[in-house]
Homo-oligomer: A and B are copies of this chain.
Amino acid sequence: MPKTTRLKSQEVSLRFRLSDEREKELLDTAAEVFFEYGYSAASVGEMANRAKASKGTYYSRYPSKKLLFAAMIRARTDQVYEPLAELLRTTSTLENALQSFGMHVLEVSLTADSVSLVRILYMEAKNSPEIGRMFKQHGYGRLEAVLVKYLRQKIRDGHLQIEHVTIAAEQLVDALMGEPMRRMVLSLGQLPTKREKEIRVRNAVRMFLAAYGEK
């Protein structure tokens, strides 16, 4: 904030050519430390050490630990959930489309990084509801949106009959990844095997189509 002000007051600045890269490094390191210790126990000094930076550098770019955290969350959320925007462009069967959508969702959602992200978001959303809102909006809300849009199309085409589309979409996604995600978040085991993912996806999709598909 003070920095921004200063930049503005000098109008044009030529200082930040490599700075984008460096900013990414700084935020990645911050994420690493935040994810490892949790918000409160994470120390900005530790981040500085790992990033071979100094606390001053962090504090010159982000006026407080809290705002550093927010910036990090925003960057990571975009990073993890952006790839989902393109899903379901497919033109194949309904079943195949949902099947491959499911696999993609599991693939992208069950990485160590996104698990850490989810974990810390769940915790910090308690006292910062805007964090929760941000995650809904830029995070898993995207996933839901793309699925709902697809489902509505298929309803118009007469291939599906769903009364509460949003709820149905949420329930499909939850059936897909609820337990695997919980297992990861609770440190109860390794990532599911490809085989387990397939079984889960197939069962969820079948259940969904049995209830809402044309017959």
19 pairs, A vs B, C-beta closer than 8 Å: A38-B40, A38-B126, A119-B122, A120-B123, A122-B122, A125-B185, A126-B187, A129-B188, A132-B187, A167-B203, A170-B179, A171-B178, A171-B179, A172-B175, A174-B178, A175-B178, A178-B178, A207-B207, A207-B212
**Are B210 and A167 in contact, CB atoms less than 8 angstroms apart?**
no
**Are B175 and A171 in contact, CB atoms less than 8 angstroms apart?**
yes
Give A160-188 interface residues, CB cut-off 8 Å to B.
Answer: 164, 167-168, 170-175, 178-179, 185-188
Given the contacts A40-B40, A207-B208, A133 and B179 also touching, CB distance less than 8 Å: no
CB within 8 A of A164: which of B120, B126, B178, B199?
B199
Q: Which residue of B lies closest to A188 (CB)?
A: B132
**Are A200 and B171 in contact, CB atoms less than 8 angstroms apart?**
yes
Given the contacts A170-B179, A175-B175, A179-B174, A188 and B119 also touching, CB distance less than 8 Å: no
For residue A204, give the distance in angstroms from its CB to the closest CB of chain B.
6
User: Considering the chains assembled together, what is the distance between the CA atoms of A83 and B207 in angstroms?
Assistant: 29
A136 contacts partner chain B, Cβ-Cβ < 8 Å: yes
A135 contacts partner chain B, Cβ-Cβ < 8 Å: yes
For A185, the chain B residues whose CB sits under 8 A away are 122, 125
A31 contacts partner chain B, Cβ-Cβ < 8 Å: no
> How many subunits of this chain does the assembly comprise?
2
**Are A211 and B200 in contact, CB atoms less than 8 angstroms apart?**
no
For residue A56, give the distance in angstroms from its CB to the closest CB of chain B.
25
**Are B186 and A132 in contact, CB atoms less than 8 angstroms apart?**
yes
CB within 8 A of A125: which of B186, B204, B212?
B186
A206 contacts partner chain B, Cβ-Cβ < 8 Å: yes
A69 contacts partner chain B, Cβ-Cβ < 8 Å: no
User: Considering the chains assembled together, what is the distance between the CA atoms of A148 and B146 in angstroms?
Assistant: 33
A121 contacts partner chain B, Cβ-Cβ < 8 Å: yes
**Are A168 and B203 in contact, CB atoms less than 8 angstroms apart?**
yes
User: Considering the chains assembled together, what is the distance between the CA atoms of A198 and B129 in angstroms?
Assistant: 26
**Are A187 and B38 in contact, CB atoms less than 8 angstroms apart?**
no
User: Considering the chains assembled together, what is the distance between the CA atoms of A179 and B118 in angstroms?
Assistant: 14
**Are A136 and B200 in contact, CB atoms less than 8 angstroms apart?**
no
